[in-house]
Amino acid sequence: MIVTITPNPSLDRTYELPSLAAGTVNRATADRVDPGGKGVNVARALTAAGHPSTAVLPLGGPAGERLAALLRQQGIAVAAVPVVGETRTNVSLAAADGSLTKVNAPGPQLSAEESTALLAAARGTEAAWLACCGSLPRGLAPRWYAELVAQVHAGGARIALDTSGPALTAALTARPDVVKPNAEELAEATGRTLATVGDALAAAQELRERGAVQVLASLGGDGMLLVGPDGVWFGSARVDRVRSDVGAGDASLAGFLGAGGQGPQALAAALAHGAAAVQLPGSVMPTPADLRPERVEIAADIPADRPLTG
C-alpha cells in the first residue's frame, strides 16, 4: 500500500482551446474536471496502474465533497480531514499548440488544530511508502513536512517528498527517502544555474549532501536524473505530442514508487509514466495500456555536457 498526503488539494478544471488570446472571449472545444493536487494525482496514477492507494487530504465545502466523490469513483480510498475553508479550484487553459496557462487558487487557511489533525491522519496510516506532495496551504509552516518525515520514519515507513521552496529545504535535514524536484525547483533549492545535465547532477548531489537519501530530478523534455546511494542514472523517453503536462511529474513519481522506489528500473518506470501522461488530456493519469516502455532509454553514462533546453 502506498499512501499519499496532499495538504492543499484542488478540483482541476481544464479547458481545451484552439488558441488562447488574452483580453478576448475564448471558446473551449472541450472541458473536464479532475481531482487535483500533486499527491492526489500520484494516488490516481497508482490506482490506474493497479496499485492500491489511500489519499489523505484536508477537505472543505462543496468543492471538497466533489473532490472526495471523484476520487472514490476512481477506486481511491479517501482519508478526509474536515476543514472549515473551502477546497480550492484551479483552472488550466490548454491550447492546441501545446501551450498551457494555469491559474492556481491559494486554497483555505488551516488552523493549528486542522494542521495537527492532518499530521495525525498521516501518522495513522499503514504503508510501506508515503508520498507527500505539493505546496503547503496557508497556516502550515515550512517545517510541517520535516515534522511529517520524522513521524513517518518513526513509524518504520519510507517517504517521498515532492515540494519546493522553504518547505523542501527545511525537510532535507529530516532525511526524506526521495525528493522529486523539477529543474526550476532544483535550481532554487541550491542557488545554482542549471545549463547542462552536469549542472543538474551537481545540484542533485548537493541535495543529497544536505540530507535527501535519493533525488529524482525531472528535467522536463530533457529527461530525468536519479541520484542515490547506489549510483547515478539518467534517462529520457520519446514523445510524439505533448497534449498537457498537468500531473506528468506526479505520474512519474507514481511510476517510480510503484516500481520499488529505487534503481534504474524504477527510473525507467517513472519516465514511461511521465511520457504517457503528457500525451493525455488535462490531468488524466495513464493506465498500463498507455505506457510505451520501449521508448525509454537509460544512459550507461551521464551526458554531463548535454545542454538543458528547458
pLDDT digits (tens, 9 = 90+) for 173-191: 999 999 999 999 999 999 9
Strands 10-17 and 88-95: parallel
The domain in which residue 70 lies consists of: 2-21+28-299
Query: Residue 304: inside a domain, yes or no?
Result: no
Residues forming the active site: 250
Query: Residue 264: inside a domain, yes or no?
Result: yes
Query: Residue 220: inside a domain, yes or no?
Result: yes
Q: What is the pLDDT of residue 248?
A: 92
**Based on the structure, what is the number of domains in the chain?**
1
Q: What percent of the chain has pLDDT over 70?
A: 100
**Nearest of 36, 267, 29 to residue 135 by alpha carbon:** 36
**Nearest of 170, 195, 225 to residue 309 by alpha carbon:** 195
Query: Residue 305: inside a domain, yes or no?
Result: no
What type of residue sits at position 27? R
**Nearest of 118, 105, 116 to residue 4 by alpha carbon:** 118
Q: Please state, in angstroms and rounded to a whole number, the distance separating the CA atoms of residues 184 and 197.
A: 13
Query: Residue 41: inside a domain, yes or no?
Result: yes
Q: How far is CA 85 from the centre of its chain?
A: 23
For 77-114, how does the pLDDT look when each residue is reduced to its tens digit (9 = 90+)?
Answer: 999 999 999 999 999 898 988 788 989 999 999 999 99
pTM flag (> 0.85): yes
- The CATH number linked to 81 is 3.40.1190.20
CB 158 within 8 A of CB 32: no
Query: Residue 308: inside a domain, yes or no?
Result: no
What is the distance in angstroms between the CA of the first residue and the CA of the last residue of the chain? Answer: 35
| Statement: residue 61 has pLDDT above 90 | yes
| Statement: residue 227 has pLDDT above 90 | yes
Place of cell 521508448: 295
Q: What is the pLDDT of residue 73?
A: 95
**pLDDT tier, 125 (very low <50, low <70, confident <90, very high otherwise):** confident
> How confident is the model over 300-310, as a mean pLDDT?
89
